[in-house]
Amino acid sequence: MKPFVAAGLIAVLVLSGCGTRLNPMNWFGGNKEQRLDAAPEEFTADPRALVAEVTRLSIERMPGGAIVRATGLPPTQGFWDAELVADDGLPPENGEITFSFRVAEPLYARPASTRQSREIEVATFLSDNELSGVRRITVIGQSNRRSSNR
């Protein structure tokens, strides 16, 4: 049993030193935020607005691909129908996939309440084929964007 454990540990150490896709440390890591001075120009048929602020972004490795999970903070409660919308289904440009964090506005005025009660979480799955050649995933909100690099 000990030789199998030793062989497994050696394999993990060797792979972690590689620059290949097999390296588990080579997957998407932490994310960074970039504040926007003005909201990005929108030329889309989607009637939903961008979420006010993207507060968190994580990329979780799954068999056959990865899950892109983002948390947004709208200005009041009641926002609904949230979704990460890829830019027109175009192939990744310069190794980057960009999503817009879209939400539908409440049907009537709602209180702002606490930050935790307004948070909205969305996720989408990207297959290994969609991730091939991708070095960065970006989620855009109205006042900021968050990116995660490989």
Helix, strand, or coil (residue 117): helix
Residue 19 lies in a domain: no
131 phi, psi to nearest 5 deg: -85, -10
Residue 52: the pLDDT is: 94
Q: Which domain holds residue 63?
A: 28-149
Look up the pTM and report it: 0.70
Give the HSE-up count for residue 54: Cα atoms under 13 Å, Cβ half-sphere.
32
Residue 94: the pLDDT is: 81
Residue 14 lies in a domain: no
Q: How far apart are CA 128 and CA 131, in angstroms?
A: 5
Sign of CA dihedral 106, 121, 126, 133: positive
What is the pLDDT tens value at each position of the chain, 150 positions in all?
666 666 666 666 665 555 555 555 455 556 656 565 555 555 557 889 999 999 999 999 999 999 999 999 999 998 999 999 987 556 677 889 999 999 999 988 888 888 898 999 999 999 999 998 899 999 999 999 999 997
Residue 100 lies in a domain: yes
Q: How far apart are CA 43 and CA 5, in angstroms?
A: 55
End-to-end CA distance of the chain: 35
Residue 103 lies in a domain: yes
Q: How far apart are CA 106 and CA 76, in angstroms?
A: 9
Residue 2 lies in a domain: no
Residue 121 lies in a domain: yes
Q: What's the total number of domains in the chain?
A: 1
Residue 109 lies in a domain: yes
Determine the number of helices (DSSP H) and then strands (DSSP E) in the chain: 3, 9
Residue 5 lies in a domain: no
